[in-house]
Amino acid sequence: MIPESYRHWQNAARQLLEPLAALMQPGQADLDIKGPASDHDAQADRLESFARPLLLAAHWLQTEPNPDDAALREQVSSWFRAGLVIGADPASQHYWGPDANYHQHHVEIGLLTIALQIAPDQLWTPLSQDDKDLVARWLGTARGNGIVNNNHYFMGVHILEFLMQHGYGRPTDRPIVDEFLTRLELMHRGGGWFEDGINQAYDHYNAYAFHFYGLMWARLYGAGHPERANRWREWARPFVDDYQHFFAASGEHPALESGFLSLPTHPAGAGVFVARLDG
């Protein structure tokens, strides 16, 4: 018996995917989402329009099947699989292009690999070996590039972990992953709170990046590194205790009204932080 609360969140994800599914055109590797361009470039925007919905779709696709969802599941999974191959193919007119130094592609490729690892049966396993090889070569363009000294290290971690997990690793990948995780851990300031590297901010990236990507790494790859995985899990506990107070009973985030907030003194004794939430 599937709990009602499970179906509630499952259906909430479906409702977010349905309008996106209407934009899924055959032979395309991006979604025509209306809105202003980013401050990156058109290729990064195209990839983002694919990778962000893919992560949502992966969470939904790996849930317990609901008979009413069968057609939409097939539409969504098949479109993303096809788009993945089209976008990763340098010979395609819809090629996303390779990763590069300090490029937004690195973030989107990281999110994409998380999605593939969450729902491999729907998104990765059905691909032919040739298609897997092609996609892996494109993912590998993330190796050796400059990465912003902040939460972006997580992307390198997830990309290389995925490649190693699926037989595309190189001897240098494991030391690099370990180094990136160490750098991220050095950003911890106590009580589950992280300073976002070069940004020197204590803002929404604590919940949106550090604890999401850290716990996701622990879930997907932590079995081989239990001590490190446990650290990330334990850091999440005091953070959640604090973070619940950042929301009103209505679910709104009062701090967003002013753009500033004061954090409680945490166990590390660093005092009170002032953090911007609009950067």
pLDDT tens digit sequence for 83-118:
999 999 999 999 999 999 999 999 999 999 999 999
Give the model's pLDDT for residue 255.
62
Residue 264, pLDDT > 60, answer no
Stated as kind and residue range, the H or E segment containing 180 is helix 173-185
Q: Are 71 and 11 in contact (CB under 8 A)?
A: no
- Averaged pLDDT score across all residues of the chain: 91
State yes or no: pLDDT of 63 exceeds 80.
Answer: yes
The structure tokens listed for 65 are 């099947």
Q: Would you tell me the crossing angle of helices 153-165 and 211-221 to the nearest 10 degrees?
A: 20
Q: Across the strands, what pairs with 274?
A: 262
Render pLDDT for 142-179 as a digit per residue (tens, 0 to 9).
Answer: 999 999 999 999 999 999 999 999 999 999 999 999 99
Return the SS3 of 189: strand
Place of tokens 């969450």: 118
Decide if pLDDT at 36 tops 70.
yes
Which residue is it, tokens 């995917």? 17
Torsion angle defined by CA atoms of residues 221, 129, 52 and 58, in that order, rounded to the nearest 10 degrees: -60
Q: From its phi and psi, is residue 106 left (phi > 0), alpha (psi between -120 and 50) or beta?
A: alpha
DSSP state of 144: T
Split at pLDDT 50, 70, 90, the class of 247 is confident
In Å, what is the CA distance from 94 to each residue of 82, 88, 172? 12, 8, 31
Give 39's contacts (C-beta < 8 A, 6+ positions apart): none
Report the pLDDT value the prediction gives residue 253, as an integer from 0 to 100. Answer: 76
* Of 242, 201, 233, residue with least CA distance to 214: 233
Report phi then psi at 60, rounded to 5: -75, -45
Number of other residues whose CB lies within 10 A of the CB of residue 50: 23
> With pLDDT > 90 as the criterion, what percentage of the chain qualifies?
80
pTM of this prediction?
0.90
Task: Please report, as a single letter, which amino acid is at residue 179.
Answer: E
At 256 the pLDDT is 54
Instruction: Indicate whether 208 pLDDT > 70.
Output: yes
Residue at 157: amino acid letter: V
pLDDT tier, 269 (very low <50, low <70, confident <90, very high otherwise): very low
Give the pairing type, strands 188-190 and 193-194.
antiparallel
Lowest mean pLDDT across 56-60, 214-218, 237-241, 250-254: 250-254
Residue 181 scores a pLDDT above 70: yes
